[in-house]
Amino acid sequence: MKKTSTRLADGRELLYYDLRDDIVRDAVDPRPLDAVATNAEVRRDPLLGDSVAIASHRQGRTYHPPADECPLCPSTGGRHTEIPAADYDVAVFENRFPSLAGDFGRCEVVCFTSDHGASFADLTEKQAALVLAAWTDRTTELSARPGVEQVFCFENRGAEIGVTLGHPHGQIYAYPFTTPRAERMLDSLAAHHAETGRNLFDDVLDRERAEGERIVLDAEHWTAFVPYAAHWPYEVHLYPRRRVPDLRALDEAAREEFPRVYLELLRRFDRIFGEGEPPTPYIAGWHQAPLSDPRREGFALHLELFTVRRTSGKLKFLAGSESGMSVFINDVPPEAAARRLREVASA
């Protein structure tokens, strides 16, 4: 992997990650851009104890542009985009409309490929490995920034999820606080250890592998399963078999196997609802340990992948119980979801 760092016209950082070492990235962004002005702030909810990002400047962000005006495609001819180069493998840049900025963290966009019509599932294993390398590199650099407490690499795919740009891409949030979801997992981890003396993540993975009925894919270094109390109609958690706190700690064997396993999961997701169905909308995100929490070494890095589509042509909306009280009601039994995801395995 070759990494090249440069700047866009407004001063934002742009990084190219290339498969070939002989690539030269010297294209300059000629756009007359003003410096990014944000008013992002983080406020603490006194009743729930969680943090909310206030970012009103995001109201003006690009919204569902036609393909020939996509800001994530390479620059060509007289049309200049966020990527000055005429082609690229993986590109990462600071978001022009960040939810978190300055003293309140950082937001980055990760373009998985220059091919506007592709998806992550269309990548080759080499390309997917390059994305993993970029995620790991960004985790390393962002974790070293003052004030960053947790790094979240994720992808939103599909208009049903709320994606405003159709180009295959994800994002990275560097939070200045521990996210509520991670805090709850850490609390459960501590309570379980106090009661049993064992690690909760290890016990969850051991249980799923022992029972088997919710296992979707069991490889040498990775295990994918539908959780016992899945919140979403089709939800898969992907764990490395050797527990590590974040992407930086993965060993080479796990890194080498990951592209094959993850691409297979994504391709199965697109086949859940049968032939002729539109691509399955999903959210996929890496859950990494907060950086300064003393419990971080017990945390288990894992990826959570889920869709809001519950059956053909129907979505799972967060209604009163889910949105109002955070109590999920799942229409698809986890065992049935796992069985379906095994049925649509690649031949």
Q: Which active-site residues does the annotation give?
A: 169
102: Cα within 13 Å, side-chain hemisphere: 11
Do 185 and 304 meet the contact criterion of CB atoms below 8 Å apart? no
**Under DSSP, is residue 28 helix (H, G, I), strand (E, B) or coil?**
coil
Angle CA 178–303–59, to nearest 5: 60
Distances (CA, A) of 204 to 208, 223, 227: 6, 12, 9
Do 228 and 334 meet the contact criterion of CB atoms below 8 Å apart? yes
Cα 252 from Cα 230, distance rounded (Å): 30
Q: Which tokens belong to 106?
A: 């950082």
Spatial CA neighbour of 286 closest among 153, 185, 107, 130: 153
Q: How far apart are the first and last CA of the chain?
A: 31
Do 197 and 131 meet the contact criterion of CB atoms below 8 Å apart? no
For the chain, counts of helices (H) and of strands (E):
6, 15
